[in-house]
Each structure stands twice: as C-alpha cells, then as structure tokens.
Structure 1
Amino acid sequence: MTAAAAFAAGGLAIALLCVLLAIAIVLRRGLRQRSVRRRIALADPYRPLLVAVVADEGRDAAHVERLLALDDEVWKALEPVVVSMVRKLRGGARAALVELLHRRGTIERLTRRLHSPGAVGRARAAELLGLLGAHAPRAELELLLEHDRDPEVRIVAARALGEIGDPASTKILVRSVAGPHPVPMRIVARSLARLGPGAAPVLVTAMGAQVPAVRAVSAEILGLGGAVTAVSVLANHALHDPDDDVRIRCARALGRIGVPTGLAVLERCVRPTEPVALRAVAARAIGEVGGRQAVDLLEPLLVDDEHRVASNAARALGRLGDRAVERLRVVAAGGGPGAVYAAESLAMNALASAGPARAGLSVVPAQVQAIASAMVSDVVR
C-alpha cells in the first residue's frame, strides 16, 4: 500500500470514529432526556400529595402512608423532589418530610454512600445528610471529617455537621483545623457558629490547645456567641498568648461580648508597645463595649502615631453618643494631629444621618467634603 493510500485510509478511519462518537453523544443525550421525562411523569401525580403533607405538617397519617406505599421506581423519581423541598422549608413542614425520608430508607442509603469509593459520591451523600438534622448519622460524618483522604469531602462533612447543629460535634470540628487532614478555618468557624451556646464549654477548653489555629477559631466563635463565661480566658490570652493572631481574635471577642470588665484588658492591648494590628482591633473593641470609660480611653488614641489605631478610635467614638461626638467636634475644630480622624468620623455620622443638616454637626464644610470624598480604606475592622 502506498503512503497516499495509507494516509487516506487513516483519514477515513478518523472520520468514521468522529461520526460514531457524535452518534454516541446524541444517543446518550436522548436517553438522558428520556429518563428525565420519565422521572417527571412518574413524580408529577404525587406532587399534590407532598404538598398536602407539608400543609398539615405530616399530621394526616393517610397522606404519609400513601407515600410510604409507593413502589421503589416511583419513589426514586419522587425522592429528589422531597429533598429539594427539605432545602427550602423550616419548622414542622420540614420535619415531616425528613421523617418521610427516614422511613423510606433514604438516610440509611445515603449513610452507606459515605463509604463509596468515589469522592463525589461521598461528598454528595454528606451534603444531603446535613439537611436531615437529628436523623443524620452524626458519628459517621465526624469520621468522614477526621479521616477522609479528599479535602473537598472533609469540607462538606464539616458543613454538614454545622447544618445538623449538635453541640456534641464541637470538639471534632475544632480539632479539624489542625492535624494531618486540616479543614480551612473559615469553614470550621461557620459550622461552629451554628452549634449555639452549647458549644461554649468545649471552646473554652480548646483555648488551652497547643495549636494556635485551634485557639484562634475558638476565640472567634466565643466572641460571636457572646459567651460571657469565657471572658476571663479570653482576657488572659489577649494579654499573654504567644501568637499575635490569637491575641487579636481574643481582643475582638471581648468587644463583641461587651462586658465592661473587658475594658481593663483592652486598655493594655492599645498601649504603644503592643503590635499595631492588635492595638487597632482593641480600639474598635473598646468602642463596642461602650460607656463613659470607653470614651476616656479612646480620646487619647485620636493622636496616635499609627493611622489604623487613630482612625478606629475616631470611628468608635462616633458611635458612643453625644458626649463622645462633642469631643470629636472639639478635636476636629482644633486642627491638631487628630483633627483629620475626628472630622472623618463626624463626616461618616453625617452621611449616615442623610446629611449634615439633619445631623446638626458643626464640622467645617470643606473638611467634611474632603474627608467624605477620600475615606481611609485600610483601617483594620
């Protein structure tokens, strides 16, 4: 066979392969669409029955029994509809559908899929189980979080435990930010925040962990949860923790909790010898605690050499009532080192009140215009 003939035969084979591939794609798409239409046709007659279960929150046993009696093929078509409704509902209506899924064996089947060889299957099962609350296999999801080899699966497991909302998962979630299979702190923090006040005792204990990331996420959630019982341990770490990030998060937490006894610690955190980032966050935290003492602590910071500290102090003062605002007016009118920050805070108050005229602020118009048009954007929040 000549080279030309061989080349032509090869081209013909490639063309034939392309045609066969195109036919296979079309056939597969057609079969998929046919399968979707069949599932819709099977599920549609029972949608009104699902609505009836949701409307009476499962109290009419006859509706539930009819759904439990469906054959497996019909239920397989209807199950995604039920899961979609669970995503959107709350309260008794959601609980009725979750109970239906439990009795139909959906939870048991999804639990088995947590051990499937494919990471996508495990992640999908974990996500769906997270929707099912108390019926979900919490212990299985915790094992997945701690030991699964795929990082995406571990992330989904962490989110699912947050959705379930059982404080018993606090310890495993906190531990998951460190170790051989870590989960990003932001994911863990979001799940921990869903566990409620019951997580606080474990988080307080976790503040003694060796790993800074564990202490950091614990401090963050204690602050978000307003855990008054954690004030003393947060105060100690705000002053003495060897990790600056942990100290910053503890100072922020003290501000969020808002106990006046925290002001003594925050006062020490804004001293010039402390790291700038800590001082800036502590200045804002002092404002969140509030009170007359807070005003007295913040006013000297208006002339601080560090821009972030002075700006945060000014903004905090702007939210502390008439006495603090009057001090800002005096500083802004004096033209000293803190005037620009005081004017900035007053301008922000004026803008928030829909204009200086309504706010009644005696700020020099030129200062207001200049500050409002060029707000400082790099302040630590």
Structure 2
Amino acid sequence: MPEKSVPIEERRPTIEVLRAEKDVAGLIDALGSDDGLTRQRAALALGDLAGAEAVAPLIRALGDPLTAVREAAADSLALLGPPAVGPLVELIESPEASGKYEERTVTVIGAGGRTWELETRQDLRRVYAAAILGEIGDPAAVKPLVRALRDAGDDLRYQAAGAVAKFGSGAVEPLTAVLADPDPDTRIVAAGVLGDTGDAGAVEPLVGALRDGNADVRGAAGGALIRLGGAAVEPLIAATKDADRNVRLYAAGALKYIGDPRAIEPLQDLARSGDAEEKSVAEDAIERIRTVRRGMPAPTSR
C-alpha cells in the first residue's frame, strides 16, 4: 500500500526546530512564508540568533503587509545593533535605497481561507528605520536622523524626531544648527526636539530661538524651555532683561509654567519696567508661581 503523501507545509521544519538548530538560513527562508505567524516568529528568532547576514532580510520584512511581522523585524534589527546601523542610515538618507530590498508579493490568508496578495511597501521601511536607529543608539545615526527632520514625509519626520531626542546631549549640537534652517517648520521641529533631549546644553540655543522672526518657532522654543525645567530657570531669568521684547515675553511665560520661586523677583522687575503686555504676563506668572507654592490649584491661563 503506497504511503500517504504529506503536504509540503507539514514537511517543512517548524520555527521551533529551526531555532533549536540555530538554522539562520532556514529562518531567513521562513520570512518568505505565506503564513503571517510563521513570518513573525521567524523574524523574532533571527534577532536572537543571527548576525549581519539577517540584516537585509529583516529590512525587507519592514515592508511586510502585516504589522506584527514589521514590528518583529524592527525589534530584531534593534537587537542586532551595529551591523544594522549602516543599512538603516542608508534607508533614511535615500528613498531609493529601499529598492535594494526587492519587492515581492505576500499572500495573506484570512477568515474562511480567503487570500489577498499584497505588495510590500517601501515607505514603511524608512519610517521603521528611524525608530530602530533611536533604539540602537549608535552616535553615527544622529546626524542622518537630524537631516531626516527636513524630509518631505510627515511620518519619517515624526519618527526621526523621537529617535533623535533619545541621544540627549549628543543631539544638541546638530539640532542647534537646524535652528538656522530657512524653513520655519523645520526650525519648529528642531526646537521641540531640543526640549525633548532633556539636556541642559539645549537651554542656550533655545533662549536664542526666542528671537526668531516666526512666532510659531518662538512658541516651540518657549515650550521646549518649559520641559527642560530647572535647568532653564537662571537663563530665563536673565532673558527677562533681554533687549528683545519677544525674548522678555516668552521668558516670562516659560517661567510661569516652570514655577520656580527664584523667578518671582525678576518677574516683579519686569512688571515694573515693561510695557502693558509685559506687565500682564509677568504678574500672571507671579500669581501662578505663588499659588502653586501655597499648594493651591494653579489658575487657568488668561
């Protein structure tokens, strides 16, 4: 009696077997499976077992139609670390670089056995690349990520901003240079990210940005200084005496929300010496600081 044939899928090694045998080539091959769960588990296993040879297949998987597979590939690339940095930087620096990771069609199987053929998407790879570089934390990625703040794609700019902020002091200098960019939208993003670094070195360039000719840039710089908190108090106190009226106003506004009592006396000086608007902003700031010090709810903004 002839042996019953076994379906090809059942004869293929499972991900558990491939992982146990440290069969990297088999796991890379499994990234091309028609089954999404198989692709996801293969991607996760490669992060634990593989090295540089898995970088390109995992980058290709960043364009997978299934979010779970993309996330697994991203996690594994972050685990691989240094070998992934160069290719990921190339992705965010050049939209065409994604073409190196040839496109393919993946069949997604849904309820009732229905199938859809979906092409992988190049734009996703660049967005994921920025986020992964932030997780890896290699200093070589800082300047490329800062340059990505000027990218035409909103999603890439957003991810690059979050990634750059994770580098802290290492990002301050390149971000400071972007505060001179001719595009105000780019300057706004740079100011915001400087505040997100949490580094005291960002205070001085942000105080300088309070002189920007664009009100939205000045507002972003003021908001960033508030987030820097105590490190910004003394420079902001000095800024209440700046020759530029905009600087004085935004400094008083930032001191209001930081809430440090050291600012009360300088704000009183501003209220006495400034024009009507400066007096109003300074007095409002003083009232809020004193209210918070007494443990009462802060008054709402006027």
Superposition TM-score, scaled by structure 2 size:
0.62
Partner of 2:41: 81
Q: Residue 283 of structure 1 contacts residue 298 of structure 1 at CA under 8 Å; is this kept in 2?
A: no
Equivalence for 1:101 = 50
The answer for the alignment partner of 1:167 in structure 2 is 139
Q: One-letter code of the match for 1:265?
A: A
Q: How does 1:130-279 map to 2 (within 5 A)?
A: 130-148=77-95, 151-181=123-153, 183=155, 185-238=157-210, 240-255=211-226, 256=228, 257-266=231-240, 274=246, 279=249
Aligned to 2:22: 68
* CA-CA distance at 1:131 after TM superposition: 2.5
Write the letter of the residue equivalent to 2:22.
L
Which stretch shifts more, 132-141 or 190-199? 132-141
Where 2:14 maps in the other structure, the secondary structure is helix
Question: How far apart, in 1, do the equivalents of 2:287 and 2:158 lie?
Answer: 29
Does the 8 A contact of 1:119 with 1:153 survive in 2? no
Q: Provide the secondary structure at the position in 2 that maps to 1:68.
A: coil
2:237 maps to amino acid: L
Unaligned runs of 5+ in 1: 1-30, 51-65, 86-96, 326-344, 350-374
2:291 match: 318
SS in 2 for 1:72: helix
Match of 1:110 in 2: 58
Match of 1:292 in 2: 262
CA pair 156-204 structure 1, distance change in 2 beyond 3 A: same
Aligned to 1:260, the other structure's residue is in SS state helix
Contact 1:207 1:215 in 2 (8 A): yes
* Deviation of 1:194 (Å): 1.8
Give me the whole-angstrom Cα distance separating, in 2, the residues matched to 1:205 and 1:168.
Answer: 17
Cα distance in 2 for residues equivalent to 1:193 and 1:108: 26
Deviation string, structure 1 residues 20-79 (Cα, Å, up to 9, x no partner): xxxxxxxxxxx9xx95x887x824568xxx7xxxxxxxxxxxxxxx63358827984988
- In structure 2, the gaps of 5 or more residues are 1-6, 32-37, 97-121
SS in 2 for 1:132: helix
| Whole-Å separation in 2 of the counterparts to 1:222 and 1:138 | 23
TM-fit CA distance, 1:260: 0.9
The offset of 1:166, in angstroms, is 2.1
Q: Pick closer, same or farther for the CA change 1:311–1:155 going to 2, 3 Å.
A: farther
| Alignment partners' CA distance in 2, 1:73 and 1:143 | 25
Q: CA deviation at 1:280?
A: 6.9
Conserved in 2, the CA contact under 8 Å of 1:159 and 1:191? yes
Q: Deviations over 1:267-319 (max 9, x none)?
A: 659x9x649xx957852445427243346517987x97999987666444433
CA deviations on 1:146-199 (whole Å, 9 max, x unpaired) are 332755443222222222222322222222232555656433321112223222
Alignment of 1:120-139 (within 5 A): 120=65, 124=70, 127=74, 130-139=77-86
Task: Flag the 1:309–1:151 CA change in 2: closer, same or farther, 3 A.
Answer: farther
Q: How many residues align?
A: 255
Provide Cα deviations, 1:78-113, integer angstroms capped at 9, x if missing partner. 88436447xxxxxxxxxxx7462217x3224335x3
Once residues 309 and 99 of structure 1 are traced to their aligned partners in structure 2, the CA distance between those partners, rounded to angstroms, is: 57
Query: What is the TM-score normalised by the length of structure 1?
Result: 0.51
Paired with 1:309 and 1:158, the residues of 2 have a C-alpha distance of 41
Q: Percent identity?
A: 22
The structure with the larger Rg is 1
Partners of 1:310 and 1:230 lie apart in 2 by 27
Distance 1:76 1:173, change over 3 A: same
Counterpart of 2:159, as a letter, is I
Q: Is the 8 A contact 1:130 1:163 kept in 2?
A: no
> Which amino acid is the alignment partner of residue 100 of structure 1?
L
The whole-number CA distance in structure 2 between the counterparts of 1:178 and 1:246 is 15
Q: Which has the higher contact order (CA 8 A, sep 6+)?
A: 2
